[in-house]
Amino acid sequence: MSLTNEVDRHAETAPSRVCPAPESVTSIREFTHEFMIAQGLTKVFGNPGSNELPFLKGMPAEVQYVLGLHEGVVVGMADGFAQASGKPALVNLHAASGTGNAMGALTNAVYSQTPLVITAGQQVRETIGQESFLSNVDAALLTRPLTSWSMEPACAADVPRAFGQAVWEATTGTKGPVYLSVPYDDWDQPSSPNDRHLLARSVTEARSLSQEQLDRLVRRLDRADRVALVLGSAVDTVNASDDARILAERLNADVWVAPSPYRLPFPNRHGQFRGVLPAAIAGVSERLKDYDLVLVLGAPVFRYHQHSPGQYLADGVELVQITEETGAATRAPFGEAIVADVAGALAALSGNVAARPNSRSGSWRESTPAPQAQDGIFHPAKVFELLRENAPGNTAYVVESTSTNEAFWDQMDLRLPSSYFWPASGGLGFGMPAAVGVQMAMPQRPVIAVIGDGSANYGITALWTAAHYNVPVTFIILKNGTYGALRWFADLLQVEDAPGMDVDGIDFAALARGYGVTATTVASEKAFIDSLSRAASSGRPHLIEVATSLTTPQ
């Protein structure tokens, strides 16, 4: 829960009132720029329109404007940057039309709880009611229910305070994107000397397990014969993967990852790692049926996808969930929920549970040999095997190839935090722009984007940004000419004759070169390895196109 004064989390609509005229030394724009720097918001991801230009005027040298050619790409880049940096990202969109273009990408940021401060330009204040061209009518309602907080200030004098609230709403409690609409004539208005207090203000929160809760959980874990840890993506987000591994090893527990992960909270080749739980009721129940106690950390219970009804848990299985997200605790249909700091809970539990004999501690699984490429067509497993063997061990992967996940988890060896990023809501178009944002946030690590050819078309303009700002991502396009995951779902739903399944005939290497990115099409393992090596040593963005066989998600 936020330690700011508790606000209505729904859209705030400006009431009809007149704000007092303040005394001033700077404009609202100048003060806001100063506040941005003080808060570390030194990158603005945007695609500008006329309403946004007054905010962008006189941008300080400390602030970099990162241009995306489509608003969905803009939000995807900011999403990747905020996740990888652990800091909020500032997004600037164009009124209602630009915001509308970004809504699909916004769904991913909602479910990954990415702190995005989204600002949008508004028409001149006195003309909004007339619905003049480019007015954002009912702006505070536009992004609901995706944003947890949205506002258009009632008057210019409230813009600095509202901007501050947007930052703290995005980063406090259940984190996520927020939305602030500002009429463009507000930026030139004078700021109040009282606004200076915002520069020194801070918002902190503390919500840890009580000693009683900790003692009770430790007793239950120590008593249980068979313990399963189900780890959510938030474990990686809060940098608690090491404590999760320690807890698992002390308990000799099997470790599962909660369904549809967007981050990797546990080394996927560790001897205690059992895999990713299926996104189906019956599948989860089947895999957890043999445990006495299931401890879920940093995940909802559970985010199902395909409808496979059944019993939530087998008889005799107890489940305890620890989450920082109040909604994830309150909407779960079963189990005991505790709303608490996940990192603190893992640290406390790992230091207090009794250590059990564990022959799997520190052991690492071997991978299954991948099929060889035939006639220039690679099985996706071979691509991932080649990446595992030839890419640096500290590579961060941004993945948006939904039909190849089984092969990915079987072949890859990811041991470091922040090594895996995925669209949290399944909204396509995340992967390519997010990879640009992740690389900007982690310039010390190589970043490889693994993108299906169906997904690539949704965020292809991210290549221009990568080239323009010299962001050295290696983009690997797995090209099978069809929507593989959709074909699997069509079979599942018995809609085998569904149209619109194929996306053949696209030359991604030519597209990349058109955007200024070096690109190659490879048809042999040697060509792939050579291209990967050249990309890694160049310090520039590269795209590698690989023809692959069709596989299905599991």
- Catalytic residue annotation: 49-50, 52, 71, 94, 305, 426
Cβ contact 554:405 at 8 Å? yes
Distance CA 225, CA 216 (A): 16
In one-letter notation, the amino acid at residue 544 is I
Radius of gyration of the chain (CA): 24
User: What are the backbone dihedrals phi and psi of residue 338, each rounded to the nearest 5 degrees, phi first?
Assistant: -130, 125
Q: List C-alpha distances in Å: 27 to 33, 41, 93.
A: 10, 19, 21
Produce one character per residue of 394-433: b if its CB has 16 or more CB atoms within 10 Å, e if not: ebbbbbbbbbbbbbbbbbbbbbebbbbbbbbbbbbbbbbb
Beta strands (DSSP E) in 245-357 are 254-257, 273-276, 293-297, 318-323, 336-339
- The separation between CA 296 and the C-alpha centre of its own chain, rounded to angstroms, equals 20
In one-letter notation, the amino acid at residue 409 is W
How many angstroms separate the first and last alpha carbons of the chain? 36
Using alpha carbons only, give the angle 370, 371, 377 rounded to the nearest 5 degrees.
120
